[in-house]
Structure 1
Amino acid sequence: MAEIIKILIAEDEPSLGQIIKESLETRNFKVYLAQNGEEAYTLYKTKAPKLLVLDVMMPKKDGFTLAKEIRQEDNAIPIIFLTAKSQTQDVVEGFTIGGNDYLKKPFSMEELIVRINNLLHRITLQKSAEIITIGAYIFDFPKQTLTYQELNQQLTHREAHLLFHLVKNKNQVLDRSMILKKLWGDDDFFNGRSMDVFITKLRKKLKNDDSIQIINVRGYGYKLVC
Structure 2
Amino acid sequence: MSKEIKIAIIEDDENLRFLVAHRLSGEGYQVIECGNGEEAEALILNEQPDIVLLDWMLPGKQGSEICTSLREKGFEKIIIMMTAKAQDVDKIDAYQFGVSDYVTKPFNMDVLVALLENKVNFIVSSNKTDVNKFGDMEHIPNIHSLVKDGKKIELTILENRILLYFLQNVNKVIKREELMMVVWGYNSDVNTRTLDMHIVRLRKKIEDNPDTPHYLQTVRGIGYRFVAE
Residue type of the partner of 1:147?
A: V
Change in CA separation of 1:154 and 1:70 when aligned onto 2, cut-off 3 Å: farther
Q: How does 1:16-165 map to 2 (within 5 A)?
A: 16-70=16-70, 77-83=78-84, 86=85, 89-94=87-92, 98=99, 100-105=101-106, 109-121=109-121, 131-141=131-141, 144-155=144-155, 159-165=159-165
Task: Name the % identity.
Answer: 28
CA RMSD of aligned residues (A): 3.7
Matched to 2:91, the amino acid is: E
Residue 9 of structure 1: how far off its partner (Å):
0.8
Amino acid at match of 1:55: D
Question: How far apart in 2 are the matches of 1:202 and 1:185?
Answer: 19
Q: How many residues align?
A: 221
Q: CA deviation at 1:151?
A: 0.7
CA distance in 2, matches of 1:129, 1:222: 27
Deviation of 1:143 after TM superposition, in Å, equals 6.0
Distance 1:147 1:179 in 2: 24
Q: Is the 8 A contact 2:144 2:155 kept in 1?
A: yes
The aligned counterpart of 2:176 is 176
Aligned position for 1:220 = 222
TM-aligned CA distance change 1:50 to 1:212, over 3 Å? farther
Distance 2:32 2:197 in 1: 33
Distance 2:138 2:111 in 1: 36
- Output the TM-score relative to the length of structure 1: 0.72
**Is there any run of 5+ residues in structure 1 with no aligned partner, and where?**
none
- AA partner of residue 87 (structure 2): Q
